Amino acid sequence: MIEHEATETLDVTGQNCPMPVVKTKQRIDDLDPGEVLEVLATDPGSMSDVAGWADTTDGVELLGQEEGEDVFTHYVRKTE
């Protein structure tokens, strides 16, 4: 299990693509640089979607992802 000190938690369980990424972007925009957003999703596609979004978006860093039994957890840091 990955432990990151999350500043905020965003619950997008029950929402399918593209909403986990859309909501993550909206919430990360409200954070200060250095803060970490924990995203809880039930869409298996969120694993690749969030990773792809973080890779192609300036100002964010994907710290890690966890695949749970029913929930996928993503940790995204705002870098700028």
The answer to whether the beta carbons of residues 2 and 75 sit under 8 Å apart is: yes
Task: Determine the structural domain holding residue 19 and report its residue range.
Answer: 8-78
Task: Note whether residue 2 is domain-resident.
Answer: no
For residue 49, the model assigns a pLDDT of 97
Looking up residue 52, the CATH number of its domain turns out to be 3.30.110.40
Task: Note whether residue 1 is domain-resident.
Answer: no
Active-site positions read 17
Written as tens digits, the pLDDT of the chain (80 aa) is 556 789 999 999 999 999 999 999 999 999 999 999 999 999 999 999 999 999 999 999 999 999 999 999 999 999 99
Q: pTM, whole model, 2 decimals?
A: 0.93
For residue 3, the model assigns a pLDDT of 64
For residue 1, the model assigns a pLDDT of 54
In 53-75, which positions are buried (b, 16+ CB within 10 angstroms) versus exposed (e)?
bbeeeeebebbebeeeeeebbbb
| Total count of domains within the chain | 1
